[in-house]
Chains A and B, each alone.
Chain A
Amino acid sequence: MPTPNKQPANPAELIIDEAIAENQWRLLPQSEEGSEISAETLAPGKVILPFSIWSALKGSLTERASEIGVWLDSDESADLIGTDATTLPLIAVNFPAFTDGRGFTTGRLLRERYGFQGELRAVGAFIRDQLTYLRRCGFNAFAYEGEQPLKKLLDSMYDFSESYQTSVDQPLPMFRRRSL
């Protein structure tokens, strides 16, 4: 039986589109009694649901579509949301440990394969020095849990002025841009 991942925090402030912003979303943790939640009992307002709950309720939440987001844990792949991504205003991806890099793939696939245009939010234990890579994989929001002031994190959004490979921020690899 695998131990459940650490649940992401939901800080009051975060970085969105390279600026510090107020967090307007609640984040519902995964929980044993999660299955008890229904469309009727879900409190109003913007909420990010764990994938399992969203997946069970999505059919009955269509009228609240603009305030229902979903978060994926690191072992939940982008394929689980698939093309539903285009209907979501926000998807969060959890990094239970900053060394767990599955979320980088999840971010790219949501953007590149499933056409997700909304807010892609990194949640969990990621660190400042991963912001460049996260941004390149399509993340535009960062709900940072660590000790460092958010203002300092903004300094690590663009650690590299150039990049070799295809990614969300630069669809053309360098070999297609070298004017060969």
Chain B
Amino acid sequence: MSTLSIDHVSRWFGNVVAVNDITMTIGPGVTGLLGPNGAGKSTLINMMGGFLAPSTGTVTLDGQPVWGNEQIYRHIGIVPEREAMYDFLTGREFVLANAELHGLGEKEAQRALATVEMEYAQDRKVATYSKGMRQRVKMASALVHEPSLLLLDEPFNGMDPRQRMQLMDLLRRMGDEGRTVLFSSHILEEVEQLASHIEVIVAGRHAASGDFRRIRRLMTDRPHRYLVRSSDDRALAAALIADPSTAGIEVDVTEGALHIQAVDFGRFTALLPRVARDHGIRLLTVSPSDESLESVFSYLVAA
């Protein structure tokens, strides 16, 4: 069990601040590092992996500094975003070389290849591999020493849905085994499907932290959208708009539904059923239309 602590870390390149005073703790399980492209995710992952010195602040793994400490790699496995990986080797030779650099050998390399189910292609040159196969061999090279912390930079980039699912299963398994797994992504569905914990980075800042629902709740001061179908949409709309908890209601004639924008989450959720009952209106559908990570994210980005 390992805990990665990022303590008031900033990193700037010349005048550009890529990471701005971020503090977070990554514990066992799968954590998603979410943010749009250029938010500073790669810079942060590079600092977590000891490939970049923080301009200020510290990154430590169980109290050990990560920067300038090659012994830390006994506990860290890294899956870089970049493709290049000694293409002139076969998959087996590549993983074996990685094992040897850890002071391990054939046995561990073979086990890692089995974990990612790449034994069938292990004697082919890496140059002949598809994107998904490369990704799996990269995973094997990162797992060969059974690290307690696994860092993956945009691991799902360019993978097809089947490969994506396989990798997600594997990462979930790693998290369940008690490893600390952190992956970055700018794709919301990926993070939503896989991560039990989410850290959101926007424009170099730590925008939110927690599980998906918690992050959503942090957003309660933001308008929430609901799709409501009822026995009398117009009457319901008229009654709801009178209350300050709603900011706008659209009567969607083609859909036969109301699009309601609520500004006071708590008050609105109490108001809606009461108003419906008082006016003798039956509620047929009440669904939050933006409970997806996408909308949470766009709020955060806009903030």
| Co-complex (A, B) | no
